[in-house]
Amino acid sequence: MLQWTEKFETGHPLIDAQHRMLISYVNRLEDLSGNTNPSREEVELVLRFIEFLEDYLLMHFKAEEDCMYRFRCPAHYDNQRAHGEFLDFFRGFKRQFGIEGYRPEVVRELFDACIAWIQRHILRIDVQLRSCQTRIFSPNPPE
């Protein structure tokens, strides 16, 4: 289970709230990823998670990219590229899930990819937004 800590903070309230929500949903997926005999409700939960994640990615990535662009964050282009790569992965996963259906190893693949994404992407790219906002909102910005 992944716990939200201040090391994930970007300093932007909306982006941080969206990241917290993602972590909460991904943590729920972990419980389902090892279930070899899921109930109908558990399979539906996975399907709802996939729908949530697709909507989340499209909405969140746009908001985050707009924010980084607005604050002239130097990680803006790396962020866009990484978002495109994760969307490609997710779309491939969704196709695979549509063909194969619920299998614990497929659900675990999605869980592992989400955890790796959160740890790699948020902690290396998204947090760079913090210093950009500080610089712009500082009472004595550098000249």
Task: For Cα atoms 79, 47, 122, give the angle at the middle one, nearest 5 degrees.
Answer: 20
| Residue closest to 107 by CA, chosen among 59, 44, 20, 21 | 44
φ/ψ of 73, rounded to 5, equals -75, 130
pLDDT recorded at residue 142: 45
pLDDT recorded at residue 5: 94
Alpha helices in 1-143 (DSSP H): 13-33, 40-70, 76-100, 104-117, 128-137
Provide long-range contacts, Cβ within 8 A and 24+ apart, for 35-41: 35/104, 35/107, 36/104, 38/102
Global confidence as pTM: 0.86
> What are the residue ranges in the chain where pLDDT is below 70?
134-143
pLDDT recorded at residue 135: 53
pLDDT recorded at residue 70: 93
What number does CATH give the domain 13-133? 1.20.120.50
pLDDT recorded at residue 140: 47
Domain layout of the chain by residue ranges? 13-133
